[in-house]
Amino acid sequence: MAVAEIKTTKPQTGFAEFWFYFSRNKGAVMGLVVFLIILFVAVFAAFVAPHSPSVQNRDVLLLPPGWTQGGQWTYLLGTDAVGRDILSRLIYGARFSLFIGLVVVTLSVISGVLVGLIAGYFRGRTDTIIMRVMDIILAFPSLLLALVLVAVLGPGLVNAMIAISLVNLPHFVRLTRAAVMSERTKDYVIASRVAGAGTMRLMFLTILPNCLAPLIVQATLAFSAAILDAAALGFLGMGAQPPTPEWGTMLAEAREFIQRAWWVVTFPGVAILVTVIAINLMGDGLRDALDPKLKRS
């Protein structure tokens, strides 16, 4: 810390300070790098993937990975039961997982922050009603509620994303509410109110920016949880539907081959695991960088 202060002549910007703490966490930087690679692969899937994710090649059914006996190097991770290249399907699958994570986090952050701000700012009866509704959502195991919601809405990726967003909502509401409640009686908020700031300005411009740190951390965790939940729903047959190369759906299709073709089962899971670990590592780094309580360590 002392070294950094001598080096910098002008005061550190918010981002520079953040990056200073974030980059000290090697795991977080590693997670960020892996995440950027996955993002790159997903965006440029059409150029990166060696084969089409949907073309079925009848000559190469259940081909083992390239380095094992009987494998072909053009099909690096082998093929599935209808002769599709697993690596290409995984690469295209990255699009779905990242997209799911992004949509779910956006939906649940925006609605959760809005509801949480209202509850924490206005308190009283509004707050009580909102918090009771959140308690109701939390009374169900999240996956079960998502499963039943998708059953009502109809199986599919979009409905799975809606269901997962709804299940995630209470965490953001509670977090925002708690942060707002601790901020709203502080001097700077009162000063702003005395100066004549309106309710909207107080809520969104004065209080909200000071509650962001825990929300960013929770959003990262929700991102990885959304990927896991969507994959779980896909695995149960209630998420993305075949032949979509979504990782969980691929695992569901592969289940019957666990005794004879290990690679069909193994690689989609590795893809999910690696992505989720990368995001969780980033989340840990963000928490350390944004939480002033831990900075002293």
Partner 1 sequence: MAGGSKTFGPSVFQRKKGLAPMLRFIFGRLAVLIPTFLGVSLIAFSFIRLLPGDPVMLMSGERVMAPERHTELMHQLGLDRPMYVQYFDYLGGLVTGDFGSSIVTKRPVLDDFMNLFPATLELSLCAIIVAVLLGIPAGVIAAVKRGTWLDQSLMGVALVGYSMPIFWWGLLLIIFFSGYLGWTPVSGRISMMYFFPQVTGFMLIDSLISGQAGAFKSAVSYLILPTVVLATIPLAVIARQTRSAMLEVLGEDYVRTARSKGLSPFRVIGVHALRNALIPVITTIGLQVGVLLAGAILTETIFSWPGIGKWMVDSVFKRDYQVVQGGLMLIAAMIMIINLIVDVLYGFINPRIRH
Q: Which residues bind partner 1 (CB under 8 A)?
A: 27, 132-133, 135-136, 138-144, 147-148, 151-152, 224, 228, 231-232, 235-238, 248, 251, 255, 258-259, 262, 265-266, 268-269, 272-273, 276-277, 280-281, 284
Question: What is the maximum span of the chain, computed from C-alpha positions, in angstroms?
Answer: 77
Q: Nearer Cβ to partner 1, position 162 or 207?
A: 162
Q: Nearer Cβ to partner 1, position 179 or 231?
A: 231
Bridge partners of 85, per DSSP, are 79
Q: Nearer Cβ to partner 1, position 56 or 266?
A: 266
| 24-38: burial string, b at 16+ Cβ within 10 Å, e else | ebeebeebbebbeeb
Phi then psi for residue 97, to 5 deg, are -65, -45
Non-local CB neighbours of 259 within 8 Å, separated by 6+ positions: none
Smallest distance, partner 1 to C-beta of residue 93, A: 13
Q: Are 116 and 203 in contact (CB under 8 A)?
A: no
Smallest distance, partner 1 to C-beta of residue 100, A: 13
d(CA 28, CA 92): 25
Smallest distance, partner 1 to C-beta of residue 128, A: 9
Q: Nearer Cβ to partner 1, position 151 or 205?
A: 151
Q: Nearer Cβ to partner 1, position 179 or 276?
A: 276
Q: Are 21 and 14 in contact (CB under 8 A)?
A: no
Q: Nearer Cβ to partner 1, position 150 or 207?
A: 150
Smallest distance, partner 1 to C-beta of residue 15, A: 26
Smallest distance, partner 1 to C-beta of residue 62, A: 15
Q: How far is CA 65 from the centre of its chain?
A: 30
d(CA 51, CA 185): 59
Smallest distance, partner 1 to C-beta of residue 24, A: 13
Helix (H) or strand (E) holding 96, with range, is helix 86-122
